[in-house]
Structure formats: C-alpha cells, structure tokens
Amino acid sequence: MTEPPDEAPKAVLPEPGDPHTLTVMDLSGYVFRAYHALPPLSTARGEPTHAVLGVTSMLQKLLAEQKPAYFAVAVDARGPSFRKALFAEYKATRRATPPDLHPQAEHVTAIARAYGIPCLEAEGFEADDVIATLVRYAKDNGLDVVIASADKDLLQLVGDGVVMHDSMRDLVYGPTETRAKLGIPPEKVRDYLALVGDSSDNVPGVPKVGPKTAVELLDRFGDYDGIFAHVSEITKPALKLTLTENKALGDLSRTLVSLREDAPVELDLEKLKVGGADLPALRAIFRELEMDRALDVLERSLGGGSAEEPLPPVRPKPAPLPAVTPQVVSSRAELESVLAEARASDAVAIETLLEGDDARRSPIVGVSLGWREGAAYVPLGHVYLGRPDQLPPREAFEVLAAFAGGTRPRLAVHDAKREVMIWARESANLTLLDTDVDTMLASYLLRADERANTVEDVARSELDLVLDPVASILPKSRAARGRLSEIEVERTAAFAAPRVRALIQASGAQLTLLEDEKLEGVYRELELPLARVLAGIEETGVRIDVLQLSSTSRTYDVRIRELEKKCHELAGHEFQLASPRALEVVLFDELGLPVVKRTKTARSTDADVLEELAPQHPLPREIMAWRQLTKLKSTYLDALPSAIDPATGRVHTRFNQAVAATGRLSSSDPNLQNIPIRTEEGRLIREAFIAADGFSILSADYSQIELRVLAHMSSDPELISAFSEDADVHVRTATALFYVAADLVTKEQRGQAKTVNFAVIYGQSEVALARNLGIEQKEARRYIQAFFQRYSGVARYLDGVVADARRTGAVRTMLGRKRTVPGLDSRNRTERWAAERIARNTPIQGTAADIIKRAMVDLELALRARDAKSRMILTVHDELVLELHESEVATLPALVKSTMENAVELRVPLLVETGIGKSWGQAH
C-alpha cells in the first residue's frame, strides 16, 4: 500500500462540545462488534447483556468526552434493503443472526432513545445509507461530521469536514488515514470496493482482482470508469481477461457498495440537538439489565437533574455480610440454642427449602436461618444414605413458630405467603406473618416494572451480590431429575447460608427505601397482610364439578365444529385453522386482505391483526371466535380436572402477588383470571365451580369500580353527579355522543358509550376505539372529543397526571403505590404515546386493584372476628368469591357487601353487587 508522506495532515476530532459538529453513530455495527468481541454475560435471570454493556459503555464515554452538540444514531431497518432486490445473493453468506443478538440490539436502541438521541432507520435502506444521508444534510447546513464507526465502507464519506472515529480502538480516519489503511484516498473507496468485492456482504467484485491489484489499477487509471475505458492498455493477459469478462459483475458491485444519500429519514436540525435525557427511563433500563456500572456513570454524569426535578440521593448499597460456616442443627435442643443466639442479634432471616415450587405440596427439605453473626441449617427431609439426624418437621416448626411469635429481632423472609403455607402444614401457628420484611414484596413495590423478584434478584439489586440458584447445586448430568433432598446436608447448608444472610442486609436497605419512596403504608397495611389472606385462599381452593366440565366440553365441541365449517365455507375450501401459515395464505394470498403486521418470518395473523381485518371480511371474526373457544376448552374444560388435588378434591390456584406493575393480582397453575365475564361461554365454565356440601357460593363484584375511581381522582362534577345519583353513567355518556335524551338512548348506543368510557380509562387511541366499535377513525375521534367535553374534569386530570409524571418520572395510586414511567419525553412518538398511556391508566387501575386488596384484608379480619365458617375461595379482577356456610346465609352477604363498599372513602359511593347460588355461574 502507498504510505502517506510524513507531512500529510493527521485527522483529529473536533473540540469537545463544538457547536458546529454532528456526530453520527453506526449503532447496528457497534452492536455486532460488541456481541462478537466481548465474552458472554447475562443477568441473574439469564438475559444476555454483553453487547448492551459494551455499546452502552462506548456511548457513555462518547457523550462524556466529546460532548456532541448534535447527535444521531443509524440502525438497520428490519426488512431487506434495495440491494437485495438488485442481487438476491447479497449478504447470503452471512450466518443466521444469533437469537440473543436482536434483543440486545433493541435494548441498545432503547438506551440511545432514553438519552434523547434520535434513532433513524429507513425501510429498504441500510444504516450506512442513513449515515450518508445525514452527512450530506449536515454539510448542506454547514456542519462538520464525526462518523462513529469502524466500517471501511463508510470511509468513502471521509473528506473535508468529515472524519470517522473508531471509538473502540480510539482511531480517527481522515484522508491520510484512509490512504494508509487501504492505499487509496476516500474518493476512490467506492471504486476500490467495487473491484475487490466484500466477502462479509457477499459483494462479488471482479474475480481475481485483490486489494494490491485494485490499488495499482486506480493509481494508474484514476477511477473505475478509467480502468474499463483503458482495458486494452493492460499488459497482463489474465487481468485483462477477467476485467473484460466480468465488467457486469463489477458494475453490480459498484452499485451495491455505493452509499445512497436519499434515505427517507426525518431531517430536522432541532431534533438532532443533544439534551433531554430521560433519567427515569435510563435508570429503569439499567436496573432491569443489572447494568450497575452504567447506572453509576449515569448518576455521576447527569446527577444534577433539572431544577424542577432534583434527583433523590443515591444511597450507598450495604456491603454483604462476611461468609460464615453454617451450623447444622440435628436436635430440638440445638435449634433452641441457635434461636437463642439469633434472638440476641438485631435481624434474623428464614428461608424454607422445598423439593419443588409448590408451597402446598412440595416436600420440605430444610430450613435455613441467618443472623448478622452467624447462620444455621435445619435438615428436615434429606433422603440419602448416611445423612445426619433430622428433626421431625412438626417439632421443628413448633419451635420456629414460637420464636417467630415471641419477642425477637427484625424478621425477614422472602415471599411470606409461601412461608406461611409451608409452616401451616406442620403448625397451626401462623404468626410468621408478623414478619417485618418480606423482601419479595418490598422489591415488587420498589421496582414495580421488574417482573422478577427472586432472592437472587433482591441480592443483586440491593447488594450487588450474585447468588447461585438452587439448580447450581443439583447434579449437572441429572438436572432434569436432580432432587435437592439427595444433596448432602453440608453442601445444602453452605448454599443456603449466603441467601439468608443476604436477606438480612437487603431487608434493612429495603425498609429505608420504602420509607424514602413513601411506600411504607401500602407495604405494611396492604401487601404484607394480604399475603396471609392469599395463603388462606390458596389453601382452601375451590370445588370443581367434573361432570359439568365434561358436559360443557361436549357443548364446546359442537360449537367448534360449527365454526370450523363456517370458516371453511368463507375460505372456499378446508384448511388447518390452527396453522398460522395456512391462515396466512388464505387471508393474504387467496382473499387478498392487506398485510397489517409482519413477524421475522411471516405475515402476522395474531389477534390484533384479525381484529383490524374483521370489518373487511367475515372470516377473521370467525377465526377469532374459533380461537377463543378452543383456547377456553384446552385451558379450562380439558385442563381443570387434572388440576384437582386428589387429597382435597379441589383446585388450588396460585395467586401471584408480585407480578403486575399496576398492582393487580394474577393467578397461575391454573390461571383463573381469564375466564370471560360476560359471555355465555364463560358462564358455562363458571357453572363447574361449585360449593362444598353445606355451603353456597357468594359472588361479590364491584360495579364500575374504575369509573368510580376516575370520578374520585378527577373530581369531575358530571361523573360525581352520575354516581351520586345512581344514574346510568353509560347512558349519560351516550347522551353526549349521540345528542339524544337519556330516555331515548338505545341498547346499542349505551354499549358503544360503555366502550368509550373504558377506552378513556385504558388510554386507547382513536385507532383502537374505531377498530373495537367497527366505525371510522374520524367518528372515534369525535366520540373521544365528546367524552372530554362532557367530562372536562377528566381531561384536566389526565393531562395533569401526565405532566406530573413527566416532572417526577412516576405515578401513584390513591393508596400510594408507585410506578416509574420511562419514555414520557421520548422523541419516538410511539414510545411517548405508550408511556403517556401508562401514566394515565395506572393510577386508576392501580387504585381499583388496591381497593379490592384492602377489602380482602378487611374482610378476612371481619370473618375471623366472627369466627365465621364461610371463607374466601377466589378473587378475579374486581370480584370476590366466597363459600358461604348455610348457617351464615342470612347475615354474611350484608357483611361482605358493607366491608367491600367501605374499604376506602371516595367522593362517590362504591357499589358491590352480590349473588348467591350453588355454583359460581348461578351466583355471578
């Protein structure tokens, strides 16, 4: 290669903060480089993060050191580029994208957007074309450009006022450095690549023309066109022949490597200005991905916040306690001695180890105890030969319950509901619920959007401590069937001790954070006592009529076959309804319906797509009905019989208290939250939920609770008047939508008004509302405008909620539950709209969830005070279901209704509708 002369000027970066420089980052390229350059890393949940960590570190360094005045990042669009249409083999030799690369790329893009950096892409174009377009735009506006990349293709853009910065190697390329690297100046890079090709993109080039030959040809003949204009002057026969025979390949290659400057991206200098980082969003992402270093860099670099939004102090995380050798407890006397030692400490943590994850039935293996000065392990169910002596579980829990219920230091557990259910098997003493800290619930309240709140997650979040999961001590070759009870007691004790000692430190930190975040009330008065209530509900379970399920299943079979036949008639032939590919062909190829959404490999036929296509053809609607019935049949009618516990004859669903960011409960194993409420299909399923002998089913359902919460929180006089006068709020809305008197509102108009009312609560767009109502978007817009004109207080309230969330980064429910809302200042309209929707509906939905939780806690206390024989058996959304003892039918319904209606005090009455029957279907 030609060496540049010594006096050739070297490229340098502009001065930090130069107001006349645009920095453009090749984000897709950096993600790819970081992915392959760094060793694999992942979160405690197993989510890969090494590429995210690498690119984020580079991005933060660039922002801190270069302080760019204008900044944009370019990303590759999802679909193929125009080059693929020109040459089908373009990039065909590339290996399939690793499955863990794309999610990391999405995280990096989200981080860039949270920093306020526009992420630009153009369908049919590549990131390099977007960069070329930005370079042209910047130069047209008098700006210099720094291209943050290491892609040699981009060297063709280097020139006057444009440099390329490989920040990973800290190299800067101008004309001099380009010539040193490739042997030719930047203006010849395109021609050079056309000749030599590019194996990484499968650009063919001219066969047998390598880098050295290409440089010699360009030096001699000037450029690509000059070479082919003077082929006759080339004296090497082989070279002359390959150039003569392969000019078409060369022309194609030059087109493929040429960067387009006309990519259709939004070019607005104001939007390219750096500033306005979304600090709550960045914190949320970094915490979710366990990027503690990035979070620390963020706090140090942007820690000042705005004058209106001072950042809370960053509390140092407590250091983990030093390791200790746990004592193995084999007798009652040893256990009492250990607990006496623990009682002298300031904090104790307890964790019960099970063979599985079912608190009701999984065999108990042992109990781990930790205090600040030591740790102990009580083996209870190890089964291998040669194990040490073990206490009988009942005796061990009797001693533990006495300790938990007496004078003791701060007690921490992880998942109090789980511990109570385990202890209840061996002891009727449930005083463990008087625990001071449930680290799972505290973690959930402090980080509502993080769906994982395991012991490992808590240790990582509060202590930066990595704990091994249970699977780590099981035999690797037997992981699928390895049993904890077969692991040596000493190994189990050594595994368990760091966990409980971590809970001690984490629980103290969490108590401080709960107080700082003003979450102590919702934690102590709502979530912690609710754990006991849910434990009782899960333990009680619900009785199922298997014969009724079988009868309903046969009814469903008939309806499913009818729907299948109708779908085949509408399609014009039979096809596999359960096959997305077959349905894709019918909808888009045969019926010619428009493609709404694409996945990586196909045209989507998901529920949203079918909903959008339904007004255009009857088949999508019938497919949705078929899917609903088949799902209900498989989820409930076919699955519930196998979920019955043979020991109790009842189904015991598991209520998940620390999952939904809004505060809603969910259920699993089986999930009973998705049984349709208003449909005949749902009623048939509920008919199979029956009362035990001597009992009836009592259903108590809050009426329009979210609209009542909205009336209270917005103080809207129209809504308050409607509920205070016990008027039909849906009819009142209909009068505003359709300009008719209340007594002339039709059933259909009331139904549409009801949809509008709840669309406002859930933050639906006019597009979604139009789809749900089957009307034009313009008409849906008018409905929403009419709603806000009638209920102007609601409009002011919702706008205020978003403004406050934008200022503070979070929203709260009436009872104090907090949810962080990142993305409110995103420059991406879709992200910003989604964040605003969360900000609007979370306080309403979350308050409704808090109210039913409060009602459950209050009702449990009321039932216990009466020593009632009736008991709660289910909670589904805004409904409580009880088994009502025949001796209490005359008195308990009124108590339930009163307790629920007085759970909180609103500006409007809370109304609970009750019903009684031998089945849930009859009662609801």
- Three-class SS of 550-585: HHHHHHHHHHHHHHHHHHHHHHCCCCCCCCHHHHHH
Beta-carbon contacts of 797 under 8 Å, excluding residues fewer than 6 positions away, are 710, 713, 714, 715, 716
- Positive or negative, the CA dihedral 698, 702, 704, 706 is negative
Give residue-wise pLDDT tens across range 351-396.
999 998 899 999 999 999 999 999 999 999 999 898 999 999 999 9
CB 90 within 8 A of CB 203: yes
DSSP 902: T
Query: Looking at 191-200, 421-430, 719-728, 765-774, which range is the least confident one?
Result: 421-430
Find the mean pLDDT for residues 762-768: 78
Q: What is the pLDDT of residues 386-400, one digit of tens each?
A: 899 999 999 999 899
pLDDT confidence tier of residue 483, bands split at 50, 70 and 90 = confident
Contact 111, 298 (CB under 8 A): no
- Spatial CA neighbour of 710 closest among 916, 508, 848, 596: 848
Q: Beta partners for 26? A: 74
Copy the structure tokens of residue 122: 């153009």
145-164 average pLDDT score: 91
* CB burial string 144-163: b at 16+ within 10 A, e below: bbbbbbbbbbbbbbbbebbb
- How far is Cα 543 from Cα 503, in angstroms, rounded to an integer? 38
Please count the helices (runs of H) and the strands (runs of E) in the chain. 37, 24
Residue 639 CB coordination number (10 Å):
14
Q: Is the pLDDT of residue 594 over 70?
A: yes
What's residue 90's pLDDT? 85
Q: How far apart are CA 854 and CA 867, in angstroms?
A: 20
The residue count of the chain comes to: 924
With b for 16 or more beta-carbon neighbours within 10 A and e for fewer, the 99-121 pattern comes to ebbeebbebbbbbbbbbbbbbbb
Which amino acid is residue 558, in one-letter code?
A: V
Q: What angle separates helix 247-257 from helix 189-196, to the nearest 10 degrees?
A: 130
pLDDT at 297 over 90: no
For 720-727, the CB contacts below 8 A with 24+ separation are 720/907, 720/908, 723/908, 723/909, 724/908, 724/909, 726/909
- Model confidence at 478, in pLDDT bands (50, 70, 90)? very low
The per-residue pLDDT for range 702-751, each reduced to its tens digit, is 999 999 999 999 999 999 999 998 889 999 999 988 888 988 989 999 98
pLDDT confidence band for 8 (50 / 70 / 90) = low
More confident residue, 3 or 625: 625
- State the sign of the Cα–Cα–Cα–Cα dihedral 670, 671, 672, 674: negative
Kindly tell me if the per-residue pLDDT of 178 is higher than 50. Answer: yes
At residue 479, does pLDDT exceed 50?
no
The answer to whether residue 51 scores a pLDDT higher than 70 is: yes
Which of 273-282, 472-481, 496-505 has the least mean pLDDT? Answer: 472-481
DSSP structural state of residue 198:
B
**Banded pLDDT at 304 (limits 50, 70, 90):** very low
State mean pLDDT over 304-309: 37
Q: Is 481's pLDDT higher than 60? A: no
Output the CA–CA distances (angstroms, integers) from residue 272 to 70, 140, 773, in the order listed: 5, 15, 40
Q: First-to-last CA distance in the chain?
A: 84
Q: Give yes or no for a contact between 540 and 648, defined as CB atoms under 8 angstroms apart.
A: no
Q: Classify burial at 325, counting beta carbons within 10 Å of its beta carbon; exposed 0-12, middle 13-18, buried 19 or more.
A: exposed
pTM surpassing 0.75?
A: no
Confidence class of residue 134 from pLDDT cuts 50, 70 and 90? Answer: very high
Q: Which one-letter amino acid corresponds to residue 268?
A: D
Q: What is the structure's pLDDT at 491? A: 94
**654: part of which helix (H) or strand (E)?**
strand 654-656
Structural tokens at position 241: 């022949």
